[in-house]
Amino acid sequence: MKAIECHNVSYLYPNGLKAINGIDFVVEENETLGIIGPNGAGKTTLFLALCGIIPFEGEIKICNTELTKSNVQSIRKDLGFVFQNPDDQLFMPTVYEDVAFGPINLGFSKEKVYSCVKKALLDVGLSGFEDRITHHLSFGEKKRTALATVLSMSPKILLLDEPTSELDPWAKNRFIELISKVEGTKIIASHDLQMIIDLCDRIMLLNKGRILEITGNTKDIKELYNKFNL
Ligand code: ADP
């Protein structure tokens, strides 16, 4: 099955900037696609379109269903979007409340919410952090909590925006290891070429809102990355 299909997807910000321009690609179920490109390439805008947060032009299908205004709420359940900045994702007083927020909104019973939170915290190596004050956590712990807030809802597709930015080398390696263990379909956007090569089956090279290449051949990507001086 195809997890994501994008056909001729574009988005013009209200200031007239076309941040993504005629984007076409497919992601197979359980595939990990990397999106590599410099700052301003359109990576975050593409994620916002995939989640139906911005009114894009073109067609997006998530798990074979076309994304429309009327079904965006239900389709969003299939997508787990981990923001670049964990402070944009975490807003509850404690780690438990943040990680429980999604499952509670999905209408799960108290017992199911509890087990989803426990499992998600175990998966990100934060068991025992339930009662910690979220805004007192280290940056690396916040990133892992933000990942847990999404994993607790078991999304079919995980979207990770610059997952390793601003992490120290130890926290970065830890986070990469966690991501590699998460099952399902993943799209990882970054300007860190080596991390993308290490984690992804195929890589999309995005620049100025357009796809320059999509390939599973890392040598091609390295050459193009250098050729375009990205
Ligand atoms: P990336 O995630 O690859 O760094 P973005 O999707 O954030 O790229 O940005 C793509 C382009 O859109 C950039 O030129 C950026 O300045 C512009 N942009 C992003 N957000 C807005 C906005 N809210 N209004 C206007 N332009 C924006």
Tell how far the Cα of 143 is from the centroid of ligand 1, in angstroms.
22
Best residue among 9, 11, 13 to mutate for probing ligand 1, ranked by most atoms within 8 Å of CB: 13
Beta-bridged to residue 23, according to DSSP, are: 9
| Phi, psi (rounded to 5 degrees) for 10 | -135, 155
| Phi, psi (rounded to 5 degrees) for 224 | -65, -40
Q: What atom in ligand 1 is closest to the CA of residue 206?
A: 3
Q: What atom in ligand 1 is closest to the CA of residue 20?
A: 10
pLDDT for residue 224: 81
Rounded to an integer, what distance in angstroms lies between the CA atom of residue 97 and that of residue 104?
10
Tell how far the Cα of 210 is from the centroid of ligand 1, in angstroms.
13
Ligand 1 residue neighbourhood (C-beta within 6 Å): 13, 15, 17, 19, 37, 39-45
pLDDT for residue 217: 86
- 121 lies in which domain range? 2-227
The total domain count for the chain is 1
Whichever domain contains 44, its CATH number is 3.40.50.300
pLDDT for residue 226: 81
- In the sheet that 2-12 helps form, which strands lie side by side, from edge to edge? 18-28, 2-12, 57-62, 65-66
Residue nearest to atom 16 of ligand 1 (CA): 40
Best residue among 17, 36, 82, 193 to mutate for probing ligand 1, ranked by most atoms within 8 Å of CB: 17
pLDDT for residue 15: 95
Q: What is the mean pLDDT of each run of 10 residues along the chain (230 residues)?
A: 97 96 98 94 97 96 96 94 96 98 96 98 97 96 97 98 93 94 96 91 95 89 78
Helix and strand element counts for the chain (H, E): 8, 10
Residue nearest to atom 7 of ligand 1 (CA): 44
**pTM of the model as a whole:** 0.95
